[in-house]
Amino acid sequence: MTSILILNGPNLNLLGTRQPEVYGATTLSDIETMCQKYGDSHEVEIGFAQSNHEGVLIDHIHAAKGVHSGIIFNAGAFTHTSVALMDAIASVELPVIEVHLSNIHAREEFRHKSFIAPVAIGQICGFGAQGYLLALDALTAHLAR
């Protein structure tokens, strides 16, 4: 069975209360429930992890090799700063889709640069929580090839 890790970075544990005008009212738990329903209906095993710590995220990426078929990753602010996360993704050789709730390209200039994008198979941003389901569709289709 296909297995996908949905990995979330810093401050995403505060979804629903953190800047709802930017990130919406949907909580991380709501997103996990949506994704689990997707997995159940598409026969895809879904794993979830969130951390506010870069090293813990790297550990989750490393641990995904041989366990998961791919990763959906919202690295939060680490997207714009972490060469270490980029290197971790490149080292495990799993397909990764980068997800952001907001459109990072329509926000502050510093958010336009992604260190994840060069090692991801694609990027989905600006569709709120729906972006995770779009990423699940894209990743499952990619894995079915």
Residues identified as active-site: 23, 100
DSSP H or E run through 3: strand 2-8
Is residue 122 a contact partner of residue 92, using CB atoms and an 8 Å limit?
no
* 124-145 residues labelled b (16+ CB within 10 A) or e (exposed): bbebbbebbbebbebbbeeeee
Query: CA 55: distance to chain centroid?
Result: 16
* C-alpha closest to that of 45 among 10, 70, 13: 70
- Which one-letter amino acid corresponds to residue 138? A
